[in-house]
Structure 1
Amino acid sequence: MSLLAIHTLKIITTLAVAFMLTSCTLSTLPVEIIHVETPVVIAKTGQIDQIFPQKDRSNRELVNDRAIFKSYQERGDIIINNQDAVSADIYINGEKISIAEPLQAYNSYQYSLKKRTKNGDNTFRIENILPEGAQLNITISYPSLKDASKKPQQNFSNVDALINDDIAQGFPGAVLVVIKDGEVIKNTAYGYKRKFSDGGEPLAAPVKMSTDTLFDLASNTKMFATNFALMKLVSEGKLDVSKPINHYLPNYCGSGRDLRTVKDILTHHAGYAPEVKFFTRENKLGADFFSQESKRTKALILTKVPYVVERNSKRMYSDTDYMLLGMIIEKITNMPLDVYTEYSIYQPLGLKNTLFNPLQKSFRKNQVAATEIRGTTRGNRVNFDNIRTYVLQGEVHDEKAYHSFGGVAGHAGLFSTGKDLAVLAQVLLNRGGYGNKSLFSGKVIDQFIKPDDGNGTYGLGWRRANNGDRKWHFGPYASASAYGHTGWTGTVTVIDPEHDLAIILLTNARHSEIEGDDKNYHFKGKEFETGKYGSVISLVYEAVLDNSL
């Protein structure tokens, strides 16, 4: 494969789209014929995947035929797919490597770089490709994770003691995964994946947590499904976040919708309320906004859901923003969100346990961590049409995602394991790829994680540590560039490029009794330090940084 290239073919494609003259409705939408340019993507198979000598050459001679790649000490390989070169000089970190002489035309060669690589950035240089005019393709894959969780490296006794003490006091369960310098250095299960029966009684034999347990990620769906898809589409030239939403969703019109951009909803600046409870007739917007059917819910969002503040006047974290982003992904790809993410992102990475609606895809309840004990009734305090009253296990807890989107939405619905999320975290630390799979470019990651104007704790969707502004999430030790997200069910992720570190804490904190009266109540699981995130994150940083050389 050659270097990632995006060629624009002038293909005239006829699409039926909604065209607004004065107003939009759910049922009557005139049609306009529009023309689009279809980008064709040639995928990379590594962080370096390029023909040398480089075709686009600078007149600064010593910047040509050079590249940088990420690796770790005593790891990595280089693949030479020769076209017609007889010889070449290749240098890794300034040291020439030995390759075949002469090279045979149209042959492939693979050499280990273990004696040359180091942790972090490594340099590549190629010179003297002979005869003049000859070419060869160089591929260096992205780093893959190594499992070092059984090796006694860092001392995690303090964090283990904290979580185990919480378990002893009644906290349900957790899985903690830590990756550092390309290795999984901790992958530990604590407590129980299920403690209560459908009637709410404690089980005589609670079901133990295991490291391969699936968790309902809640709002971490926004990052590891929706943002991953968005970053991929931006890298492929299929999405421009500066464009209006109705460039991609022509039916999104009326009442100022034509002014809103994709970036507005990524940064929660569009003006939507935190949520619309479509799933209940008692939602604040009234019965007209009741929907327990995905098609109707999406139609309401396109033309009916009102803004509560003006665009860019106030940042309001909103699930509606990410519902819209999921709809944009579906429109661009012409696939349901779950199909696109599972087949275009997770499966190419070998991730078989990251998906929406696991019970509909051959998984069993006992493979998944349970959440709320009495459905979504908040201990029989809440009621609405088709409310679930049994222990939730393998169904997305979020009522909007479950009832109003069929379990697949841009804001919630993804399930995964700690091990699978570790791979996705390493994709981010690798700046866009894993092994021989490239998902998005480093430039696009920079675009999505850079601090947003006015509030550095936000990127494009991602939340940022921003010099200690979110200690409850990132703890006090995270670098200023660390980013991640949290999920209502009890999940938290931290990606810290400066330390080449990622922390994944998955809990079922909501699988606990609810205390309080009918209006003021809380889940007991959220009272524990493990369920509050920050203390666990702090102790992980101490274990890693205090023991680093």
Structure 2
Amino acid sequence: MNRFIIIILALGIIMPWSSIGHATATSEAELALSNQSNPTREEKVKYPTLKNAGKPEEAGFSSQKLRQVDQLIEQEINNGFPGAALVVIKDGKIVKNTAYGYAKKYEGHDLLKHPQKMKVNTVFDLASNTKMYSVNYALQHLVSEGKIDLNETIQHYFPSFKDHPSDKIKGKDHLRIIDLLHHTAGFPSSVHYHNPVRAGELYSQDRSTTLEMILKTPLQNEPGTTVIYSDIDYMLLGFIIEKVTGLPLDQYVETHIYKPLGLKSTMFNPLNKGFKEKDFAATELLGNTRDGVISFPNIRTYTLQGEVHDEKSFYSMGGVSGHAGLFSTTGDLAVLLQVMLNDGGYGKVKLFDKETIDLFVKPSEMNPTYGLGWRINANDSMKWMFSEYANNNVIGHTGWTGTITVIDRENNLAIALLTNKKHSPVIDPKVDSNKFYGDTFDISQYGSIVTAVYEAMIK
């Protein structure tokens, strides 16, 4: 009889747990508390997890003013802007998670008769926000674990990274990881490795060869003398992470960062991992041709949807690079944002510690709007992105495809605005092939929406 009772009690514990599945508003740690085999044992959730706010007022927001945020974005959609998704979190609550407009409204230059509507689970090409949510999160994790020293030289990991007699500017021998993070290493902003006409002897459309070409790339400035925001810095940082961990960058972050957090839609090369084109916000209309004025070997000419737009990432890095290639949703980003607001963890998962975050968001002496990769609202030059209401310690980043994240640790507030502004014609390809119609809208400057969110907070 006693054995029978024990079996029934065991089943009463195991069966409900097996049917729970993925936790959304409640953390897995909280679920474990109510389903542990020893109910008398006290176990605390280490980090707060997100819950939906019943009403915005519960998190200090005005419902009426948040509707004004909706009206601002909807007006942009009515005026021709393609689409957007916005998530706002405060005090551990999801205050807003809303989709607007269309994930895809063009096929080539033709307007679709039935455009694909944007949804809250639409997946976006994060572009340079990849730098933060892949490389920075990975480095913050590895630094917290003592596996990476930011003052270690690049040459320590790649002995062939060194000055050559023909280099006009020397300094590679002593460049460190921290120099790459500060964007003071001296690299040019970009090298078009994928384009033989632009890259010359550095041309590569093979990932392993691209590493060799990056290591050979000459410096443009003397290290430590100027800040130049450079994709090359983060391409190289991604390779350093691979060297340290022994895993490809995508495998490392997806296994050690995203999966433990329960994220389902944050990954590189998602079309190879079970997703379909219809799951994504589309980007450029005619591949990477800028409406037909650019050409190089293997260039895509179709409307991009679910493939990373960035040319270096797609052609030269196989879609996996430290500077671009990550895809995500507002829901997944909310969790990643909360990790930063929580000083490094979520539920039972600890990724890094507060001391490491403080190190990464400390303003650079050379340019206080830069931390270690993170952009900082240190002066008026950043108002276009962070708004006039953000304090000087607010951090974030933007992405070329139309993405921005804002993290206000002092107010326990974070915002992610994802758009597909490049899903629009180029205004005049022969004059400026990088200027799209989607770039001309107020929403594309980000600050107007971030301002409206701050204004919606109840004083």
Q: State the TM-score, normalized to the length of structure 2.
A: 0.88
Correspondent of 1:532 among 445, 451, 455 = 445
1:142 to 31, 34, 47: 47
Task: Kindly report which structure 2 residues correspond to 1:177-256, keeping only aligned pairs within 5 A, or say none.
Answer: 177-197=87-107, 199-255=108-164, 256=171
Match of 1:294 among 192, 200, 207: 207
Q: Deviations over 1:326-372 (max 9, x none)?
A: 00000000000000000000000000100000101010000000000
SS in 2 for 1:202: strand
Residues 159, 539 of structure 1: 8 Å contact kept = yes
Change in 2 beyond 3 A, CA 1:385/1:515: same
Which secondary structure state, in structure 1, belongs to the residue aligned with residue 295 of structure 2? coil
How far 1:151 sits from its partner (Å)?
5.3
How many residue pairs were aligned? Answer: 416
Residues 366-392 of structure 1 show CA distances to partners (whole Å, capped at 9, x for unaligned) of: 000000011111010111111110000
Matches within 5 A, 1:260-299: 260-283=175-198, 285-286=199-200, 288-299=201-212
Counterpart of 2:168 in structure 1 is: none
2-structure distance, mates of 1:249, 1:461: 21
Matches within 5 A, 1:46-57: none
Q: Deviations over 1:438-475 (max 9, x none)?
A: 00011000000011112110000000011443001100
Q: Return the structure number with greater helix share.
A: 2
- Matching residue of 2:404: 492
Q: Please give the secondary structure, in 2, of the residue aligned with 1:191.
A: strand
How far apart are residue 109 of structure 1 and its match?
4.1
Q: Deviations over 1:294-336 (max 9, x none)?
A: 010001112x100011011111110000000000000000000
CA offsets per residue over residues 199-223 of structure 1, 9 Å max, x none?
3200001100000000000000000
Letter in 2 for 1:400: K
1:543 is matched with 456
**How far off is 1:140 after superposition?**
4.2
* 2:403/2:418 contact within 8 Å kept: yes
TM-aligned CA deviation for residue 252 of structure 1: 2.1
**Where is the strand percentage greater, Structure 1 or Structure 2?**
1
Is the CA contact 2:227–2:367 (under 8 Å) kept in the aligned structure 1?
no
Is residue 149–residue 184 contact of structure 1 (8 Å, CA) maintained in 2?
no
> Is there any run of 5+ residues in structure 2 with no aligned partner, and where?
1-28, 165-170
What's the offset of the Cα at 1:108?
7.1
1:440 aligns with 2:440: no
1:149 and 1:186 in contact (8 A); partners too = no
**What do residues 49-79 of structure 1 show as CA deviations (whole Å, max 9, x unaligned)?**
xxxxxxxxxxxxxxxxxxxxxxxxxxx98x9
Q: Which amino acid aligns with 1:448?
A: F
C-alpha distance 475-159 of structure 1, shift in aligned 2 (>3 A)? same
**Structure 2 counterparts to residues 117-136 of structure 1, below 5 A:** none
The one-letter amino acid paired with 2:255 is Y
Read off the aligned partner of 2:372 and give its amino acid letter: L
Deviations 1:149-204 (A, max 9, x none): 7656523122111110010010000000000100000000000000011x320000
- The structural deviation recorded for 1:282 is 1.3
1: CA distance, partners of 2:431 / 2:203 = 22
Instruction: Map 1:104-503 onto structure 2 (within 5 A).
Output: 109=40, 139-148=44-53, 153-154=61-62, 155-197=65-107, 199-255=108-164, 256-283=171-198, 285-286=199-200, 288-302=201-215, 304-503=216-415
**What secondary structure does 1:194 align onto?**
strand
Alpha-carbon distance in structure 2 between the residues aligned to 1:420 and 1:520: 34
Matched AA of 1:204:
K
- Structure 1 residue 261, shift from structure 2 partner: 0.5
In 2, the alpha carbon distance for the partners of 1:292 and 1:462 equals 29
Q: Structure 1: which amino acid aligns with 2:335?
A: V
1:516 offset after TM fit, Å?
Answer: 1.4
Contact 1:489 1:510 in 2 (8 A): yes
> 1:289 Cα shift?
1.1
Q: How well do the aligned residues superpose, as a CA RMSD in angstroms?
A: 1.9
Q: CA deviation at 1:290?
A: 1.1
Query: What is the distance in 2 between the residues matched to 1:476 and 1:410?
Result: 31
Q: Name the amino acid aligned to 1:264.
A: D
Q: What do the CA deviations read for 1:501-537 (whole angstroms, capped 9, x no partner)?
A: 0000000000011111513242000101111101001
Q: 1:149 to 1:457 in 2, by over 3 A?
A: farther
List 4+ stretches of structure 1 deviating above 6 A: none
Counterpart AA for 2:157: Y
- The 8 Å contact of residues 45 and 347 in structure 2, kept in 1 or not, is answered as no
Q: Structure 2 CA distance, aligned partners of 1:489 and 1:462?
A: 18
Give the distance between the partners of 2:55 and 2:296, measured in 1 at CA: 48
Look up the SS of the partner of 1:349 in the other structure: coil
Q: Does 1:504 align with 2:381?
A: no
Q: Distance in 2 between matches of 1:433 and 1:139?
A: 14
Between 1 and 2, higher relative CO (CA 8 Å, sep ≥ 6) is seen in 2
- The 3 A distance-change label for structure 1 pair 343 and 194 is same
In 2, distance between residues paired with 1:371 and 1:520? 18
Partner Cα separation in structure 2 for residue 375 and residue 354 of structure 1: 23
Q: Which runs of 5+ in 1 are unaligned?
A: 1-75, 81-106, 112-137
Cα distance in 2 between the residues matched to 1:250 and 1:529: 47
SS in 2 for 1:511: coil
Report deviation, 1:254: 2.9
Residue identity over aligned pairs, in percent, reads 51
Q: Which has the larger radius of gyration?
A: 1
In 1: Cα distance, 2:377 partner to 2:52 partner: 27
Aligned partners of 1:177 and 1:418 also within 8 Å: yes
**3-state SS in 2 of match to 1:391:** coil
Question: Is the CA contact 2:238–2:249 (under 8 Å) kept in the aligned structure 1?
Answer: yes
- Residues 381-422 of structure 1, C-alpha deviation per residue, up to 9 Å, x if partnerless? 111111110000000000000000000000000000001000
Structure 1 residue 248: Cα displacement? 2.5
